[in-house]
Amino acid sequence: MNFTEIAKNRQSCRRYDATRAVEEETLQIILEAARLAPSACNGQPYHITVCRGEAAKQVAKATTAMGMNGFAKEAPVLLVLSEEPYVKTAAFGAKVKGNDYRSMDIGIAVAYLTAEATAQGLSTCILGWFDDMAVRKICGLSSPVRLIVTLGYAAADDTLRVKKRKTMDELVSYK
Ligand SMILES: Cc1cc2nc3c(=O)[nH]c(=O)nc-3n(C[C@H](O)[C@H](O)[C@H](O)COP(=O)(O)O)c2cc1C
């Protein structure tokens, strides 16, 4: 798949084949894509906790408040992205420029790993709705959890949807 094909094929998967595990080798390829992602001052201010088995079930439960994300319990792997401190140069830049580079860096890493997962034939859903303190406790983390990614093989009847997006004119302007 080239990148355009990946972008067209990646979609948030909310129906997984719970009987199909993610192969270790494929998981490592996906994690390597995140490792290669760019970040402000190359600081990579994040950590990824790979949750499988009972840990995955517990993390999935922590994403379900108010009826949200019930599908997460079917995903065999949950990747928990937590925030780490800035490197000194990025901390300086963030302060002087009043910009939140860490969130951007985490978003880019997640974009890389979800794209690689698609290229590998797997499906993902990025979750921003979860109980931070509960997930930290399950994962033994002392820093804030920013995103969780469900990872697995989509159910056989989970077909590609038509993408709803802004029009190009809404999205882009030229000066
Ligand atoms: C930061 C972020 C948080 C998200 N949180 C959730 C979530 O908690 N639950 C969910 O089902 N989808 C969540 N999504 C998925 C979006 O709803 C989805 O990406 C968007 O509607 C576009 O659809 P697509 O991914 O299928 O192309 C999140 C996506 C992002 C980028």
| 124 within ligand 1 shell (Cβ under 6 A) | no
pLDDT tens sequence across 101-136: 999 999 999 999 999 999 999 999 999 999 999 999
Q: Whose CA is nearest to atom 15 of ligand 1?
A: 126
| Residue of 85, 68, 54, 168 lying closest to 125 (CA atoms) | 68
Q: Evaluate whether the domain defined by 3-156 bears CATH number 3.40.109.10.
A: yes
Cβ–Cβ < 8 Å for 151, 76: yes
69 within ligand 1 shell (Cβ under 6 A): yes
Which residues, in sequence order, are bridge partners of residue 78?
51, 150
Q: Is 12 near ligand 1, meaning CB less than 6 Å away?
A: yes
CA 155 – CA 74 distance, rounded (Å): 10
Q: What is the spatial distance between Cα 52 and Cα 37, in angstroms, rounded to a whole number?
A: 23
Distance CA 122, CA 116 (A): 9
Distance 7 CA to ligand 1 centre (A): 14
Q: How far is CA 160 from the centre of its chain?
A: 19
pLDDT band at 71 (very low <50, low <70, confident <90, very high): very high
pLDDT at 172: 98
SS3 51: strand
Q: Express each pLDDT in 137-165 by its tens digit.
A: 999 999 999 999 999 999 999 999 999 99
Domain residue spans of the chain: 3-156
* Ligand 1 pocket member 92 (CB < 6 A): no
Choosing from 59, 126, 146 the residue with most ligand 1 atoms within 8 A of its CB, the one to mutate for a pocket test is 126
Task: Write the residue with the smallest CA distance to atom 13 of ligand 1.
Answer: 127
